[in-house]
């Protein structure tokens, strides 16, 4: 049975970069590419960042029950196709879903043992800087993304693991530790000293261990 990992984060938190780093370090892990009706941005390519489809195509997929979950964000559809889970299981791989808070809640309701990971920026100021320097959005869209980020971050307590993305290399290692520690714990085999170290490192990112660390980040968004 494949392990399903859910990764969510406010736009601009560095989630895509972290996920790309994870796939360089971890084998037997598939990635579910979401479907969307929004147009490509920047250098995005169909079938790489997203499958870009028309509203008519997306709604036909909804009618055919082809999605594990789908939602409307900023007026566009986004959805996770069921086929990716079937394909991962056929290959004996685990599956990583890159989805928002809405989608994560729906997946957890359907796949109760899915592992959810929420990636946070260090604070609001750093997130705003990242959104501005990537140069993809207008001022109005940046303001909207920051407001959405504030609302999304309030949902952090619904996730199993919390990862604050401050230093890329460190955050990538933490994400790797989380993914591999879940595999180790579910394998129910005796762990080596190195494997125990990995499980302990991942445990430090568990929700119950992260609440105090998250409070200053939440406060930075509430001050605005």
State the average pLDDT over residues 23-34.
Answer: 96
Q: What digits encode the pLDDT tens for the residues 59-81?
A: 999 999 999 999 888 899 999 99
pLDDT digits (tens, 9 = 90+) for 150-208: 999 999 999 999 999 999 999 999 999 999 999 999 998 899 999 999 999 999 999 99
Give the count of beta carbons closer than 10 Å to the beta carbon of residue 223. Answer: 9
Q: Which helix (H) or strand (E) holds 180?
A: helix 168-187
Q: What is the pLDDT of residue 5?
A: 98
Check residue 176 and give its pLDDT. 97
CATH 3.40.50.300 fits 4-31+94-222, yes or no: yes
Q: First and final CA of the chain: distance in angstroms?
A: 45
H/E stretch holding 66 reads none
- Output the pTM of the full model: 0.90
Confidence of residue 224 (pLDDT cuts 50, 70, 90): low
Say if residue 54's pLDDT is above 80: yes
Q: List pLDDT tens digits, range 2-28.
A: 999 999 999 889 898 999 999 999 999
pLDDT digits (tens, 9 = 90+) for 90-104: 999 999 999 888 889
Q: CB-hemisphere CA count at 13 Å for 196?
A: 4
Query: pLDDT at residue 136 above 80?
Result: no
The structural domains of the chain, with segments of one domain joined by +, span 4-31+94-222
Task: Report the sign of the C-alpha dihedral through residues 154, 160, 164, 165, in that order.
Answer: negative
Has residue 213 got a pLDDT over 70?
Answer: yes
Distance CA 29, CA 2 (A): 9
The C-alpha R_g of the chain, in whole angstroms, comes to: 17
């Amino acid at each position: 049975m494949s392990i399903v990992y859910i990764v969510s984060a406010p736009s601009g938190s560095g989630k895509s970069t972290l996920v790309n780093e994870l796939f360089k370090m971890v084998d037997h892990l598939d990635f579910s590419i979401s479907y969307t009706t929004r147009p490509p941005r920047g250098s995005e390519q169909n079938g790489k960042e997203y499958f870009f489809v028309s509203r008519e195509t997306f709604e036909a997929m909804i009618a055919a029950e082809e999605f594990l979950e789908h939602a409307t964000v900023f007026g566009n559809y986004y959805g996770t196709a069921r086929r990716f889970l079937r394909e991962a299981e056929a290959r004996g791989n685990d599956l990583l879903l890159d989805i928002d808070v809405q989608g994560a809640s729906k997946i957890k309701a359907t796949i109760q043992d899915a592992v959810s990971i929420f990636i946070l920026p260090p604070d609001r100021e750093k997130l705003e800087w990242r959104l501005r320097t990537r140069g993809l959005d207008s001022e109005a869209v940046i303001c909207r993304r920051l407001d959405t980020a504030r609302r999304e971050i309030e949902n952090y307590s619904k996730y199993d693991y919390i990862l604050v993305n401050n230093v890329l290399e460190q955050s990538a290692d933490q994400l790797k530790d989380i993914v591999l520690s879940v595999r180790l714990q579910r394998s129910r085999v005796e762990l080596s000293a190195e494997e125990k170290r990995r499980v302990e490192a991942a445990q430090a990112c568990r929700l119950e261990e992260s609440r105090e660390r998250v409070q200053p980040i939440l406060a930075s968004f509430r001050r605005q």
